[in-house]
Structure 1
Amino acid sequence: MLSYLESKLYADVEGTCSGQYGYIIAVVSILDIGKGMVLSGSGQAEFVIRYRAIVFKPFKGEVVDGVVNMVSKMGFFVSVGPVNVFVSQQLIHADMKYDPNSNPPSYASEDQIIEKDTKVRLQIVGTRVDTTEIFAIGSIKEDHLGVIE
């Protein structure tokens, strides 16, 4: 019974997003499995399980690394783990210009090019948390942010 509860916990919790804790990446350990309560009418049992987990919840001001997955005239999207971060054109260095004629589309300056699959370092400037997803806006306008090798 305990092994079933453990496997059910891993299957139901890992990879999900909760508004309070963020994305649950992995369950590290199970601290306690409470006594089961039989639900009236259905015969099912409900257990309270306390566990430790690795979570990811970006916050305002945090500097993170990610990979660009889409570039458009309005800005570009960066995958930072399970979170997609949008970097608006206004939050990109002034010397970087959008080049729609390049293939793939990109933002370019004299020494940097941002296109699909480019690794970038950015700062989170805002987040919005839904019950099942986290949305974020980022900036590469500050020093030491932008393309990384």
Structure 2
Amino acid sequence: MFFLHNLERRVTLHPSYFGRNMHELVTTKLVKDVEGTCAGDYYIIAIMDTFDVSEGRILPGSGLAEFTVGYRAVVWRPFKGEVVDAIVDTVNQHGFFAKAGPLSLFVSSHLMPDEIQWDPTAAPPQFTNNADWVIEPGTHVRAKIIGLRTEVGEMWAIGSINGDFLGYAHAPERTSFKNHCNADNARNYRCLQA
């Protein structure tokens, strides 16, 4: 689930950057250091804004300046029971690994519907129901998180595709206005120039 969270972090700045635009440099360094990282039990997706940058304090012995920065960030905290869309990375006879954004997810073969079977003779090896489901690297799946494990800077999840509306998910179509307004569609529709 996504949240807007107020956070605080200490940022150090080298003396060569001291000058008029120090606060901008501190904010830029904060964004570079923090966005996309795992902070224990949540991921920092994006920094919305900084609302408090303290005056710099010179650190003895190094000459670096330390600033305390208060900022608002969009964070994602996965919960048990949350349903996520993921892309399959690797597949083996025990299950498959997938990525749901920054979260690594494992779905065991025991947590799949009974009609889904391992097919080692296929190229590449895959899970399939011999009809319309094929789970191989690059497949989009919808899984329910049933367990989470966190460590410093990393998070893993165990998921299940055994349930209603879970499992194989069609890849979202990526269409753009320019692709839609080609010569064939221009005869049938009024397309604007992009």
Q: TM-score, normalised by structure 1?
A: 0.94
Superposed CA RMSD? 1.2
Distance 1:95 1:139 in 2: 14
Distance 1:141 1:122 in 2: 8
**In structure 1, which of residues 68, 73, 86 is the aligned counterpart of residue 106 of structure 2?**
86
Which consecutive aligned stretches of 4+ in structure 1 deviate over 4 angstroms post-superposition? none
Q: Which moved more, 1:49-58 or 1:74-83?
A: 49-58
Give the drift of 1:30. 0.8
Write the mapping of 1:123-142 to structure 2, written as runs, cut at 5 A: 123-142=144-163
The Cα offsets for residues 69-97 of structure 1, whole Å up to 9 and x where unpaired, read as 11100100111001110000110111110
**In structure 1, which of residues 41, 44, 54 is the aligned counterpart of residue 64 of structure 2?**
44
One-letter amino acid of the structure 2 residue matched with residue 24 of structure 1 = I
Distance 2:119 2:24 in 1: 55
Distance 2:168 2:62 in 1: 56
Give the drift of 1:116. 1.2
**In structure 2, which of residues 93, 96, 105 is the aligned counterpart of residue 73 of structure 1?**
93
Aligned-residue identity in percent: 46
- Secondary structure of the residue aligned to 2:26 is helix
**In structure 1, which of residues 108, 111, 115 is the aligned counterpart of residue 128 of structure 2?**
108
Q: TM-score, normalised by structure 2?
A: 0.73
Give the drift of 1:132. 0.8
- Secondary structure of the residue aligned to 2:164 is coil
Give the drift of 1:31. 1.3
Give the drift of 1:111. 3.3
Higher Rg: 2
Distance 1:31 1:62 in 2: 31
- Secondary structure of the residue aligned to 1:18 is coil
1:26 correspondence with 2:33: no
Distance 1:70 1:112 in 2: 16
Distance 1:54 1:121 in 2: 23
1:17 correspondence with 2:13: no
Unaligned stretches of 5+ residues in structure 1: none
Distance 1:42 1:79 in 2: 41
> By percentage of residues, which structure has more helix?
2
> By percentage of residues, which structure has more strand?
1
